[in-house]
Chains A and B, each alone.
Chain A
Amino acid sequence: MRLSSLGYNIRQGFKNIWRNKMFSIASIATMAACIFLFGLFYAVTVNFGGMLKNAEKGVSVTVYFDNNATQDEIDDIGTAISKRPEVRSYKFVSADEAWSEFQKSYFGKHKDAADSFADDNPLKDMANYEIYLKDVSKQSALVSFLEKQAGVREVHQSAATARTLTDFNSLVQLISMSIVIILIAVAIFLINNTVTVGISVRREEIGIMKLIGAKDSFVRAPFIVEGVTIGLIGSVIPLVILYVMYGRIIRYVANRFNALSNMFAFAPVNSIFKVLIPVSLVLGVGIGYIGSRLTLKKHLHV
């Protein structure tokens, strides 16, 4: 298509939007609502994910050694742990460190109670490796691997916590995905309606275009421009609103739920919008394009 024809069709697309003002506004509003909800869910999911990751950081696996394990065997276990891809970090805790940590946690101010043990370390068999994972869902795989290692007496894990966190994470993702799919379907349906109205209003004009010898692409172009423009406007509006609102919402949630804000930091606005802007624009334009193409195929037979 020639550049001047393209310009002409773009102008016609804008005229279509103007002619069907009410339907166009309804479509833009619905699209905006869909993208707004999508953005909101995305922001919530990212922050929730951050929260879960934060909780996961505290989940650890502890490996205790056989009483007669040699230093070489302990070192070998350490090397094996370091090679595991699911391991985020690990540290060796000697029996003395374990006892000192225990004293701090349990005796606190009553240091004299701990002194009664003198040099007799009741945790002398409790030297261990404390392992933190990148992904708690991989915990059981790591545990069964460690249990097979020579020199390992026992592996402690918080299976219930890990499972709950993993399940919760999956649930949040599933709910978010379902809602996004429903929203996309609703948006496509609405764009469909708008373009159908546009076609019925311009049926005569389309007939004339075809009789004069317009190619299918020429007949389609203004409707595609219409759908894509509605999608674009419908995604820019909620992005601006979300951008303005995000900071305020974070402040509100932080003030309202103090405990939450003490536990973890909300995702910064830039990191959210670095993903949200391109995804929303592609989603809006894509829905607009697909919606109008589907309608054209159904109603125009061009």
Chain B
Amino acid sequence: MIELSHVSKTYEAGVKAHALKDVSLRIESGEFVFIVGDSGAGKSTLIKLLLKELTPTEGSIVVAGRDLNRMRHREIPEYRRKIGCVFQDYRLLKDRNVYENVAFAMRVTDASKKQIKRRVPQMLSRVGLASKYRSLPGHLSGGEQQRVAIARALVNHPKILLADEPTGNLDGHNTWEIMKLLNEINQDGTTVVVVTHDMEIVRAMNKRVITIYKGAVVSDEEELSS
């Protein structure tokens, strides 16, 4: 499903800096995987590479059978629609309400009005925000905003969900609510990749954990229990 072979990413701003060094890993369809590491370890670079925001300096990345190195610029939008993504800062459109934020992800795919009207309420019910569809993001709690972001990420039925520090701005209660939701999404068949540095939730979830340290994969464990 996701396969990285000897991937390196080097940034050149005066001096060369290795964000990722010779990373090889494979994530199967339907898996739930944590990618952990300290700040600057290269976790976000990995997410950016998977979203085709960046191109690897060396190595190849294959996602859902597509070699990202061979992907043309005009093919990127179609590819990204198959991958849902959630970020620490939610990245919601602040001037649009909850419904519009989720509908927006469908609009960019040229979905019909009928499809949007059917699917957006379904998705909002799924994340427990059906009653707040008219609220603006600024009027919601952090946990609620992250739920909107998850609803937006899932509305186009992606095969993979990438979550970059999804609980980084949330309190304990909301963190667990979001993790519970991500787990449910995974149980429905979506591959979930969560990037985090919160070892407490990693231990509690009992999932596969890939640890990155200074740009290299240092461990890959099936379960990391407390």
Known: A2-B110, A4-B113, A205-B93. A212 touches B51 (CB 8 A): no
Query: Closest residue to B156 on the A side, CB-wise?
Result: A213
Instruction: Give residues 33-58 of B contacting A (CB, 8 Å).
Output: 51, 53
In the bound complex, what is the Cα–Cα distance between A216 and B113 (angstroms)?
Answer: 21
Let me know if B61 is at the binding interface, CB within 8 A. no
Query: A176 CA to B37 CA in the complex, in Å?
Result: 67
Could you show 9 A-B contacts with beta carbons less than 8 Å apart? A2-B112, A5-B107, A204-B91, A208-B92, A210-B80, A211-B91, A212-B81, A213-B79, A214-B77
Q: Roughly how many angstroms separate A213 CA and B105 CA in the complex, as a whole number?
A: 8
| Residues of chain B from 57 to 106 with CB closer than 8 A to chain A in the complex | 74, 77-81, 85, 91-93, 104-105
Contacts of B156 in A (CB 8 A): 213
Tell me if B13 is interfacial: C-beta within 8 Å of chain A. Answer: no
Do B107 and A8 have beta carbons less than 8 Å apart? yes
Q: Is the interface of A mostly helix, strand, loop or mixed?
A: helix
B interface residues (Cβ-Cβ under 8 A, vs A): 51, 53, 74, 77-81, 85, 91-93, 104-105, 107-110, 112-113, 152, 156
* Contact with B110, one of A1, A209, A212, A216 (Cβ below 8 angstroms): A1
B77 touches A213 (CB 8 A): yes
Name the A residues within 8 Å of B113 (CB-CB): 4
With both beta carbons as reference points, the residue of chain B lying nearest to A218 in the complex is identified as B108
Return the contact of A215 from the options B77, B91, B104 (Cβ within 8 A): B77
Closest to A205 in B: B93
Q: Which residue of A lies closest to B109 (CB)?
A: A213
* Closest CB in chain A relative to B75 CB, distance in Å: 10
B82's nearest neighbour on chain A, judged by CB, is A213
CB within 8 Å of B: which of A131-190?
none
In the complex, chain A residues whose CB is within 8 Å of the CB of B107: 5, 8, 218
12 other A-B residue contacts (CB within 8 Å) besides A8-B107, A213-B79, A215-B77? A2-B112, A4-B113, A5-B107, A208-B92, A209-B104, A210-B77, A211-B85, A212-B81, A213-B77, A214-B77, A215-B74, A218-B108
Report if A212-B105 is in contact (Cβ < 8 Å); known contacts: A204-B91, A205-B93.
yes
Q: How far apart are the CA atoms of A218 and B109 in the complex, in Å? A: 9
**Residues of B with C-beta under 8 A to A205:** 93
The answer to whether A5 touches B110 (Cβ under 8 A) is yes
Cβ of A8: which chain B residues have Cβ within 8 Å of it?
107
Question: Using a CB-CB cutoff of 8 Å, which residues 9-53 of chain A contact chain B?
Answer: none
Distance from B107 Cβ to chain A, minimum over Cβ atoms (Å): 6
Q: Provide the residues of chain A in CB contact with B77, threshold 8 Å.
A: 210, 213-216
CA distance A2 to B93 in the complex (A): 22
Nearest chain B CB to A15 CB, angstrom units: 8
Task: Determine if B51 and A211 form an interchain contact, defined as CB atoms under 8 angstroms apart.
Answer: yes
Alpha-carbon separation in the docked complex, A216 to B92 (Å): 20
Q: How far is the CA of A216 from the CA of B77 in the complex (A)?
A: 8
Does the CB pair B152–A212 fall under 8 Å? Answer: yes
Instruction: Look across to chain B and name the residue whose beta carbon is closest to the beta carbon of A2.
Output: B110
Q: How far is the CA of A208 from the CA of B148 in the complex (A)?
A: 14
CB distance from B214 to the nearest CB of A (A): 27
> In the complex, are the beta carbons of A4 and B112 less than 8 A apart?
yes
CB-CB under 8 A from A204, the residues of chain B are 91
Cβ contacts A198-234/B at 8 Å (1 or 0 each): 0000001101111111111010000000000000000
A77 CA to B152 CA in the complex, in Å? Answer: 87
Considering the chains assembled together, what is the distance between the CA atoms of A205 and B51 in angstroms?
17
Residues of chain A within 8 A (CB-CB) of B51 are 211
Tell me, rounded to whole Å, the shortest Cβ–Cβ distance linking A300 to chain B: 13
Q: In the bound complex, do residue A209 and residue B91 qualify as a contact, i.e. CB atoms below 8 Å apart?
A: no
Residues in B neighbouring A210, C-beta threshold 8 A: 77, 80
List B contacts of A216 (CB < 8 A): 74, 77
